[in-house]
Structure 1
């Protein structure tokens, strides 16, 4: 998750009332170390403000690791049942849709977890290098198209592309990464777009994220 993306999420969550947020289900949460150490802005910008509000947050991921409250596969019936038992009023699905082979199926499961009046917040890369975890289908949608195609039963109340930094500041901080980037140039063989793997293509153009807030009426 980009830091600018985390700040966008903080702003959108701040616009919701307490009764709209609790409990909040964070799908594809990763573990506590990732949220607080590897990408500390996730906890600082998104979850620390929610804790301060007294919001109940349930973190869910495939792997049972520290900081994961429910280890479950949302695409499986047992996993879906466990997630439905949370009774979430709001859901986060951030940077998951590009990492699954059947994003339509994942979208249907996410929508199934949204109750009447509930909110789903989705983010996915719009312009970003190939990054398998464990795969990357190179799904890079426009947020309006994503909302319309994957979540037709939900009303999109906000959709926008958020600009992040370029690769240049990171390369200045860690210049040794240039060796990796030159090795990958002109691209990774297993990248769906051929030349998408090299971050040098984002040296002077920003990373961008498609973000959407959807509600079930």
Structure 2
């Protein structure tokens, strides 16, 4: 599942973007739900597990993950939490955006092997992000072949990270530190989604309910 479901999530996002996006008015609600669920799973399960490992300086690597995500978002324009800021008239392949999103997707795939709840959180996060990225790329002057290539590689990177973790010894000595970095990435992305989920930071009872629902589901799983 950790190999197939992340790809399926991107395909679902692509399909919604291609056929329904203009009428798909609940994208912000999906973002808010994905952010609250990802944050809750990270805080309730992923974070305590890392600290219970007994490894020193874990907090430093979590902070490092936050800083890494800030740099990745500087490259991507914030696509990881639903924002894109590249020119729609540009016909050149957006390599900076592509590399940034692939690094993010690869890293988020590393800890999901053997952690079903984290896998579900990543999948739920990927669907609205894939919708936004797909819809934006299809409205640029990029060729359809470039867009499909972009989405295909982006979809593969998360299961590739999981595959490398599960089937190689590459991360055996640094796995705990890499997981801490991913926690920092998840904390930054999920909180940014929640902070930006309401226009002009006004209270929205519907989005608040969606956020509470995401937290509640994470608690009962």
- Quickly name the TM-score band, shorter chain normalised: under 0.3
TM-score of the aligned structures, taking structure 1 as reference length: 0.26
TM-score of the aligned structures, taking structure 2 as reference length: 0.26
Bigger helix fraction: 2
Bigger strand fraction: 1
Higher relative contact order (CA 8 A, sep 6+): 2
